[in-house]
Amino acid sequence: MIPQSLHKTFSAVDGYIDSYLVSADSALKAARKTAAAAGLPDIAVTPSQGRLLYLLARSVKARNILEIGTLGAYSTIWLARALPANGKLITLEFSPKHAQIAHKNIARAGLSRKVDLREGAALDTLPKIAAERRRFDFFFIDADKENNANYFQWALKLARPASLIFVDNVIRDGKVADPRSKDPMIQGVRRLNDLLKKEKRVIATTVQTVGTKGYDGFTLALVAR
């Protein structure tokens, strides 16, 4: 854990960055507010991280996005807004309660036509998506960290050449560097890194981050052309 004084600084800087670079509008603000009011955990990406997802999806001109872990659809809204008129985002969510809140937030943002929310455990819904022969050019992996390596392998199966795979929360207060950590989330991230070390089909890196959500980080992988 980071000292509270540092966290205060990280949050203040996030506020400063947001005030200059991130215009979170009413639909995004409502998504956060309704999720909090319904008692959902406060773990959605921050505004500047949402903006990064949007920027990356725009950069690769994503037409088909797969998100694993919807929560209240805050990140979903950022990503779906990066899509062209005929673009589609499929988002996978295990919790019916989270899905219900997410549906409302997606509708409020005017994105129901572009977003297809599939309820259930992602490892059950992913084979169905594969059977539909869908392919994606951008992946946001942000569900149960225990399955990170499994989700990454699914992303590789469903990717196109030059697809981007973004994996959230891979540093977790620095605990990832402890090989003896018993935390199943950490073990999940470390299994992903074992896989990345050997995987020749991707160029990947991991960046540590700080902000209102504390000390964490993300992995970004580019699938070979």
User: Which residues contact Mg ion by CB under 5 A?
Assistant: 142, 168-169
CB 96 within 8 A of CB 81: no
The counts of H helices and E strands in the chain are 8, 7
Using CB under 6 A as the binding rule, the residues of this chain from 104 to 163 that contact ligand DHB are: 142
Maximum Cα–Cα distance across the chain: 50
Using CB under 6 A as the binding rule, the residues of this chain from 25 to 64 that contact ligand DHB are: 43
Work out how close the CB of 169 gets to ligand DHB at its nearest, in angstroms, rounded to a whole number: 5
CA nearest neighbour of 102 among 30, 46, 25, 52:
30
Q: Which is nearer to ligand SAH, 106 or 176 (CB)?
A: 106
Distances in whole angstroms, Cα of residue 180 to Cα of each of 102, 176, 177, 184: 36, 10, 9, 11
For residue 93, the partner it binds in ligand DHB, Mg ion, ligand SAH, none, with Cβ less than 5 to 8 A by kind, is: ligand SAH
Residue 10 binding ligand DHB, by CB under 6 A? no
Stretch (H or E) spanning 93: strand 88-93
Query: What stretches of 42-168 adopt beta strand conformation (E)?
Result: 64-68, 88-93, 115-119, 136-141, 159-168
For residue 209, the partner it binds in Mg ion, ligand SAH, ligand DHB, none, with Cβ less than 5 to 8 A by kind, is: none
Can you tell me the distance from the alpha carbon of 78 to that of 65, in angstroms, rounded to the nearest whole number? 12
Q: Which is nearer to ligand DHB, 67 or 142 (CB)?
A: 142
Work out how close the CB of 6 gets to ligand SAH at its nearest, in angstroms, rounded to a whole number: 23
- Closest CB to ligand DHB belongs to which residue? 43
List of residues contacting ligand DHB (CB under 6 A): 43, 142, 168-169
